[in-house]
Amino acid sequence: MPNLILVHQNTKQALSDLETIAHNVASAGAGIEAHVVDTKTLDWSHAAKVANDATLTVSPMPIKKFAAPRGRVCQGFEYRKCVQNERLRAIGVPVPDWIEIGADTTLDPEQWGPYVVVKPELGRKGAEIRIKRTERVRFKPEDSFPEGHPGRKAPHFAQRFIYTGPWPSNFRVVTLFGKTLMCWRCEADHGYPALESRYGFDGGGVTIVSNKKTSHYSLAFDEDVMRLAEKAHAAFPDQPLLGTDVIRDAETGELFVLETNPRGDTWYMSSATGEMIQRDNGVDFMAQFNALEIASEVLVRKTIELAS
């Protein structure tokens, strides 16, 4: 009998969600025994029993202490954004042009446009993302950044600016092994000055980050956005949970993937962050596509495919 082990992390997923999925998987008639463990568990009482049969361990986020008794382990992992871009482009997923900023980097406005986006490779939650005049982009050594700044952990890179409208917006699609669980559209607070044209930054005060605390979130059902995010998941087959950011060029309609958040901190259906967003915006991520039912079906298939 194959085993599925689901690894839970407090505040990142509701324990009841994983318990429901485990029950559904065990009841699906595929002969799978499903278990839920905490990411900090050291001595698991079922370890010896599980070690006798093919097993798949799935953890949305990096596992802290639990050690799988056997078999394949699929867990979150934090890839640098440029590595994500390379993987995505290799499978034909459109990403904005980018370049890591090194000591000799100079950018030509004729190639990149008058403004580019500069961001850290390991930044989170839109931190330290800036719009800069292309000719002013310069390398800054790690020790020039203050303690705790993401620039001390990894280089910055420049990215072609994509105009998403007067106020920046993006979609986030949460996928489990390439199947959509939920999708939102996020747009920056209209209290910021509007960006009336693609490069109209001269007035100042314009934000280019859509996912701020004051932003507006709504359920999105754009099929082309979700299919692109599902395709993007193929670049990260060992990361079970992705939160892929997709943007649409307001003038051309082209879609681009910005990042996939492969660390897996994106179970918004019941995480502390997700509950806050749902409460503040009057949305229900769980009910949008019936996420638990989809997750259960996906994990039955993946356990049959990957347990060893």
Cα dihedral 281, 286, 289, 293, rounded to 10, equals 180
pLDDT of residue 212: 83
Q: Is-contact 176 295, C-beta < 8 A?
A: yes
27 contacts 296 by C-beta, under 8 angstroms? no
Do residues 104 and 95 touch, judged by C-beta distance below 8 A?
A: no
Domain boundaries, the chain: 3-76+290-306, 97-161
Question: If you average pLDDT over every residue of the chain, what do you get?
Answer: 94
pLDDT of residue 302: 98
138 has a pLDDT exceeding 90: no
Comparing CA positions, the residue from 102, 257, 117, 287 lying closest to residue 198 is 117
Q: Which residue has the tokens 């990042």?
A: 259
- State the pLDDT confidence band at 49, using cuts at 50, 70 and 90: confident
The whole-number pLDDT of residue 232 equals 98
pLDDT in tens, 265-287: 999 999 999 999 999 999 999 99
CA 147 to chain centroid: 25
User: What is the CATH T-level fold of the domain 3-76+290-306, as seen in this structure?
Assistant: Rossmann fold (3.40.50)
- Mean pLDDT over residues 195-203, rounded? 88
Rg (CA), the chain: 21
pLDDT above 60 for 126: no
Q: In this structure, what token pair is assigned to residue 23? A: 């029950």
Greater model confidence, 1 or 144: 1
Q: DSSP strand E in 60-114: where?
A: 72-75, 98-100
Here the tokens at position 53 are 């049969």
3-state secondary structure of 246: strand
- Helices 291-306 and 15-26, axial angle in degrees (round to 10): 60
Using left for φ > 0, alpha for ψ between -120 and 50, and beta otherwise, residue 204 falls in left
Print burial letters for 6-21: b (CB count within 10 Å at least 16), e (below 16): bbbbeebbbeebbebb
Please tell me the predicted confidence (pLDDT) of residue 261.
Answer: 97
